[in-house]
Amino acid sequence: MDRRSALKNISLATGYAVAAPGIMSILTSCKTEVATWKPTYLSVTEGHIIKHLVDIIIPKSKLPGGLEVNIPEFIDVMFRDVESESNQEAFKLSCEVFADKFESVYKKEALKGSKKEFHEILDKYFKISEDEKQKVFNDLSKNISEIPGQDLNKYHIYSFLTTVRRYALFGYFTSEKVGEEVLAYDPIPGEYIPCGSLNDLSGGKVWSL
C-alpha cells in the first residue's frame, strides 16, 4: 500500500488516534532535530511559519509538545508525498496569503517573525464569537468559486490555519511518543473485559492501540 492509498483509509478527524501502516511509516521517519530541520517540500519561510504555529497549537507542558514529536517535518512530508497536487497548490497559495498578511501587519517578512507575533495573529483569527466561527466554517465548506472576491484573503488565511491545526493534531495523536507516553498503551492484549469502565481500563485515557 502506498502512502496516498493509506491516507484514503484514515479519518483526518481531530484527535484520531489510530493510523494505518503507511502513515505510521511517515511518522516514524520524522526524526530530525527541530533546530536543524530543513523542509524538503515547503519553502524555508513556510517551514518557519508552520514551526511557530505548531509550537503555539501544541505547546510543551508536562506533556510533549508538537515540536518534540516532529510535527512540522510530518506536515512537510505529508504534503510532499501524500497530498494531491490540487491540495498542494491550495496550501501553498493559502500560506502565501498568510505570509503577506503577516508582512502587512508587522512590516517585515514572515521568515523574521517571532512566536509572539504569530501567536497574536492566531488569536486575531480564532478568538472570535461563535456566530463568526460558524460563518468561517460554513465558508470553508464551500467551493472557492463561491467566495466573494472581498472575502478571498480571509478564506485563504482560515484555510491555511485550520489545515495546519488539523495536521498538527492528527500527527501529534498518531505519533509513537504520544501513543506510548500520553495515551493508554498496551501492545500485548490481556484479559478481555467487555463492560469495564474507561477509568478502570485505561485511567481515563484514550487508547492508542
d(CA 16, CA 172): 10
- Among 2-6, 109-113, 134-138, the minimum mean pLDDT is found in 2-6
Q: How far is CA 139 from CA 32, 90, 99, 162, 164, in A?
A: 36, 15, 21, 12, 17
Q: CA torsion, points 52, 98, 123, 149, in degrees to nearest 10?
A: -160
Is 198 or 37 the better-scoring residue by pLDDT? Answer: 37
Is 48 or 206 the better-scoring residue by pLDDT? Answer: 48
Q: pLDDT grade, residue 89 (50/70/90)? A: very high
What local confidence, expressed as pLDDT, does residue 156 receive?
97
Q: pLDDT grade, residue 65 (50/70/90)? A: confident
Nearest to 186 by CA among 205, 159, 173: 205
Given a cut of 90, is residue 47 above it in pLDDT?
yes
Percentage of the chain surpassing pLDDT 70?
67
Please report how the helices 44-57 and 115-126 are oriented relative to each other, as an axis angle in degrees rounded to 10.
70
What local confidence, expressed as pLDDT, does residue 135 receive?
93
Tens digit of pLDDT for each residue in 123-140? Answer: 999 999 999 999 999 999
d(CA 102, CA 162): 17
Given a cut of 90, is residue 57 above it in pLDDT?
yes
Residue 7 CA, chain-centre distance (Å), reads 15
DSSP 8-state class, residue 42: S
What local confidence, expressed as pLDDT, does residue 11 receive?
35
Q: How big is the CA angle at 6 (ends 75 and 77), to the nearest 5 degrees?
A: 20
Q: What is the model's pTM?
A: 0.75
Is 168 or 209 the better-scoring residue by pLDDT? Answer: 168
> At 90, phi and psi to the nearest 5?
-65, -40
What local confidence, expressed as pLDDT, does residue 22 receive?
54
Tens digit of pLDDT for each residue in 157-196? Answer: 999 999 999 999 888 878 766 555 654 444 545 555 555 5
